[in-house]
């Protein structure tokens, strides 16, 4: 077996690969920079780089694409499926880590931690101390867009500190949302004006691109805060910049960006009352240990001919490469 890994994985994942396969670590997020090393590889494992149809076509021996996480919007799923290549994920493993990061961002904004640090370090102790921007999170309403594995954890954590929760998820019924302790909304735009915090936990698909734009931001309370630990493209960043600078909303915290990595000169970083982190919400040591192991186990299984269940493109198993495989061949 031959693996190509764009960035080195957590030790557990690398141990699984190196104990069974030849492995090239590119340490590069552009596949065009190491096309020679891609020849003859069985598995391509990515962290942040894009895998398009052209890249897939250049790897005739490729059997599996691994993405140690839950999101896969950087991979051309139709092209992979058409080629009979499963996209192996590790869904659900990172939900607690992302949920905790989300709550940490809410705490940081409610306690004005970033401005408090900067002001104190600049010698403006009393001025910063008396800004009057700190408030309690208890009894505040958080609106959760997307009540999947992460959204459910966010609801649980927020309720645990006395916050109220409401939710929107097009795939859940009223009964399912209310069973999570959330007020049910069948239209997220009706939910936004009721929230003190809005937290995004949707995948980036065609229907969620620019889901939060000028109209939605203007409908929120001027005292409200937006948290995005999902995908950058869900929020129109230019509209968010304008909303923050014009005090349409009170603040925002983002762990994800429309283009990653963002440039140091990105206008988003000039916006008022913004906290940013480098797409690290899922990168707790515990989570990455489990995620890397689960994803690599799946990649090895696929190379051996097994129909691994944790794939993004389940229709791939209808491909001629897989369709006629017998149970014995599946191992």
Each domain of the chain, given as residue ranges in start order, spans: 2-92+285-323, 95-276
Active site residue 117: no
Q: Which of 73, 85, 17 is nearest to 279 (CA)?
A: 73
Same fold, 2-92+285-323 and 95-276: yes
Average pLDDT over residues 217-234: 97
Question: How far is CA 32 from each of CA 35, 49, 57, 87, rounded to the nearest angstrom?
Answer: 6, 11, 12, 20
Q: Select which of 67, 96, 279, 297 is catalytic.
A: 279
Tokens of 61: 């021996």
Q: What is the pTM of this model?
A: 0.84
Q: Which of 278, 250, 248, 255 is nearest to 154 (CA)?
A: 255
What confidence tier does 327 reach under pLDDT thresholds 50, 70, 90?
very low
> How many residues can be counted in the chain?
331
C-alpha 123/C-alpha 128 separation (Å) is 9
Q: Select which of 67, 201, 231, 237 is catalytic.
A: 231
Active site residue 124: no
Superfamily, domain 95-276: NAD(P)-binding Rossmann-like Domain (3.40.50.720)
Q: Give residue-wise pLDDT tens across range 71-80.
A: 898 899 999 9
What confidence tier does 97 reach under pLDDT thresholds 50, 70, 90?
very high
What pLDDT shows up at residue 35? 83
What confidence tier does 30 reach under pLDDT thresholds 50, 70, 90?
confident
Average pLDDT over residues 1-30: 90
Average pLDDT over residues 176-188: 98
Cross-strand pairs, 164: 141
What pLDDT shows up at residue 329? 47
C-alpha 110/C-alpha 135 separation (Å) is 6
Active site residue 231: yes
Q: Give residue-wise pLDDT tens across range 234-271.
A: 999 999 999 999 999 999 999 999 999 999 999 999 99
Tokens of 225: 């805060």
Average pLDDT over residues 118-135: 96
Average pLDDT over residues 219-227: 98
Residue 183: pLDDT over 60 = yes
Residues 6+ apart with CB under 8 A from 71: 203, 204, 231
Residue 213: pLDDT over 80 = yes
Return the percentage of the chain with pLDDT > 90, whole number: 81
188 backbone dihedrals φ, ψ, rounded to 5°: -65, -25
Q: Select which of 242, 260, 306, 330 is catalytic.
A: 260
Average pLDDT, the chain: 94
What pLDDT shows up at residue 137? 98
Residue 326: pLDDT over 70 = no
Q: Give residue-wise pLDDT tens across range 273-302.
A: 999 999 999 999 999 899 999 999 999 999
Residues 6+ apart with CB under 8 A from 15: none
Average pLDDT over residues 32-43: 88
Considering the domain 2-92+285-323 in this protein, what is its CATH number? 3.40.50.720
C-alpha 198/C-alpha 122 separation (Å) is 31
Average pLDDT over residues 109-122: 97
């Amino acid at each position: 077996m031959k693996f190509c890994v764009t960035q080195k994985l957590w030790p557990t994942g690398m141990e699984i690969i190196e104990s069974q396969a030849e492995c090239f670590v590119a340490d590069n997020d552009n596949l065009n920079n190491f096309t020679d090393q891609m020849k003859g590889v069985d598995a391509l494992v990515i962290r942040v780089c894009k895998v398009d149809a052209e890249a897939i076509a250049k790897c005739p021996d490729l059997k599996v694409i691994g993405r140690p996480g839950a999101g896969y919007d950087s991979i051309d799923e139709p092209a992979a499926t058409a080629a009979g290549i499963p996209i192996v994920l590790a869904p659900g493993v990172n939900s607690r880590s992302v949920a905790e990061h989300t709550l940490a961002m809410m705490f940081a904004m409610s306690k004005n931690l970033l401005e408090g640090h900067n002001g104190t370090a600049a010698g403006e102790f009393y001025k910063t101390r008396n800004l009057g921007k700190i408030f309690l999170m208890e009894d505040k309403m958080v609106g959760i867009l997307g009540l999947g594995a992460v959204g459910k954890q966010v609801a649980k954590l927020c309720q645990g500190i006395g916050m109220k929760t409401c939710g929107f998820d097009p795939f859940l019924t009223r009964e399912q949302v209310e069973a999570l302790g959330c007020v049910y909304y069948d239209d997220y735009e009706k939910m936004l004006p009721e929230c003190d915090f809005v937290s995004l936990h949707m995948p980036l698909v065609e229907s969620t691109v620019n889901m939060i734009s000028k109209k939605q931001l203007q409908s929120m309370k001027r005292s409200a805060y937006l948290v995005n630990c999902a995908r950058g493209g869900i929020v129109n960043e230019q509209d968010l910049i304008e909303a923050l600078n014009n005090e349409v909303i009170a603040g925002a915290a983002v762990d994800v960006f429309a283009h990653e990595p963002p440039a140091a000169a990105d206008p988003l970083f000039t916006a008022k009352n913004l906290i940013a982190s480098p797409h690290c919400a899922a990168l707790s040591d515990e989570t990455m240990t489990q995620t890397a192991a689960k994803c690599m186990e799946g990649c090895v299984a696929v190379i051996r001919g097994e129909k691994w269940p944790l794939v993004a493109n389940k229709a791939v198993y209808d491909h001629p490469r897989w369709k006629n495989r017998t149970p014995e061949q599946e191992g």
